[in-house]
């Protein structure tokens, strides 16, 4: 058996766009600048939609910053869509200890009577503004040693452009879902008669990719039954 021996398949947005138009029954010789403009807009709107539908594992990164005594609010990069796990690290001598901090809602944070209370942080509130921030409580007290905060951030997918053979910031396992998803969106404009069929195919391809875009780890459930028994 002779195979390529490579794993470099990563078509440009232009190539994927031509394929998506083919799925709509539109051949490359029919395409004009108007077609390509609609494809660029449809691509970026679809990537925006995907960011809202779940955690894109390839866009998760660890962000770390220094905590400052009496400072509770810290800026977050505007490309961050959501914050997953977060923890605070304290260094004493040569030992660094990490402690998880949990997310709270705006309403729960508002209920705290003393928002300036200092201590070891236990919770954070992610304010999802255009210029987002993270508020840590209790307010950090770094007198025991240097402290940092860290969180796993899900960021938006980079912009997609058709110029200079640019590719899309997608892993290999999402290419099929992208092609069918873009074909569905383009069919709404250029081939509405086949939109229902493209919609079904796009959903099926997205579901397959989304099911695989998870961490393959076991889940342990430990029910608390102490309350069912009386002494």
d(CA 15, CA 119): 55
Asked, for residue 91, whether it belongs to a domain, the answer is yes
Q: Are residues 61 and 144 in the same domain?
A: yes
Res 127: pLDDT: 98
Q: Are residues 61 and 139 in the same domain?
A: yes
Cβ neighbors of 60 (< 8 A, separation 6 or more) are 84, 152, 153, 154
Asked, for residue 44, whether it belongs to a domain, the answer is yes
Q: Are residues 148 and 193 in the same domain?
A: no
Q: Are residues 192 and 123 in the same domain?
A: no
Asked, for residue 35, whether it belongs to a domain, the answer is yes
Asked, for residue 192, whether it belongs to a domain, the answer is yes
Res 50: pLDDT: 95
Q: Are residues 127 and 171 in the same domain?
A: no
Domain's final residue, options 155, 180, 197: 155
Asked, for residue 108, whether it belongs to a domain, the answer is yes
Q: Are residues 136 and 63 in the same domain?
A: yes
Res 146: pLDDT: 79
Res 94: pLDDT: 87
Asked, for residue 6, whether it belongs to a domain, the answer is no
Count up the domains in the chain and report the number: 2
- Alpha-carbon Rg for the chain, nearest whole angstrom, is 24
- The pLDDT tens digits along the chain (231 residues) read 789 999 999 999 999 999 999 999 999 999 999 999 999 999 999 999 999 998 899 999 999 999 999 999 999 999 999 999 999 999 888 899 999 999 999 999 999 999 999 999 999 999 999 999 999 999 998 887 779 999 999 999 999 999 999 999 999 999 999 999 999 999 999 999 999 999 999 999 999 999 999 888 887 777 766 555 555
Res 227: pLDDT: 54
How, if at all, do strands 123-127 and 133-137 pair? Answer: antiparallel
Asked, for residue 7, whether it belongs to a domain, the answer is no
Q: Are residues 129 and 167 in the same domain?
A: no
Q: What is 11-54 written as a DSSP string? A: -BHHHHHHHHHHHTT--GGG--HHHHHHHHHHHHHHHHHHHHHS
Q: Which residue range forms the structural domain that includes residue 23?
A: 13-55+161-212
75 SS3 class: strand
Res 218: pLDDT: 85
Res 145: pLDDT: 74
Q: Are residues 65 and 151 in the same domain?
A: yes
Res 58: pLDDT: 95
Res 25: pLDDT: 96
Q: Are residues 28 and 112 in the same domain?
A: no
Q: Are residues 61 and 119 in the same domain?
A: yes
Res 221: pLDDT: 75
């Amino acid at each position: 058996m002779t195979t390529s021996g490579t794993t470099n398949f990563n078509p440009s947005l232009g190539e994927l766009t031509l394929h998506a138009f083919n799925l709509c029954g539109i051949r490359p010789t029919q395409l004009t600048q108007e077609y390509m403009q609609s494809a660029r807009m449809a691509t970026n709107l679809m990537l925006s939609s995907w960011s809202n539908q779940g955690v894109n594992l390839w866009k998760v990164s660890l962000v770390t910053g220094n905590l400052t005594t009496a400072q509770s609010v810290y800026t977050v990069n505007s490309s961050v869509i959501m914050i997953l796990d977060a923890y605070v690290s304290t260094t004493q001598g040569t030992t660094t200890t990490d402690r998880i901090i949990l997310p709270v809602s705006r309403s729960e944070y508002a209920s705290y009577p003393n928002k300036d209370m200092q201590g070891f942080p236990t919770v954070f509130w992610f304010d999802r503004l255009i210029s987002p921030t993270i508020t840590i409580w209790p307010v950090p007290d770094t007198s025991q040693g240097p402290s940092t905060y860290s969180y796993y951030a899900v960021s938006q997918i980079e912009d997609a452009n058709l110029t200079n053979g640019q590719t899309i910031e997608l892993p290999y396992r999402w290419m099929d879902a992208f092609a069918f998803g873009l074909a569905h969106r383009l069919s709404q404009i250029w081939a509405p008669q086949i939109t229902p069929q493209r919609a079904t195919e796009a959903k099926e391809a997205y579901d397959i990719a989304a099911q695989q875009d998870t961490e393959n780890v076991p889940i342990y459930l430990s029910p608390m039954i102490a309350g069912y028994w009386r002494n």
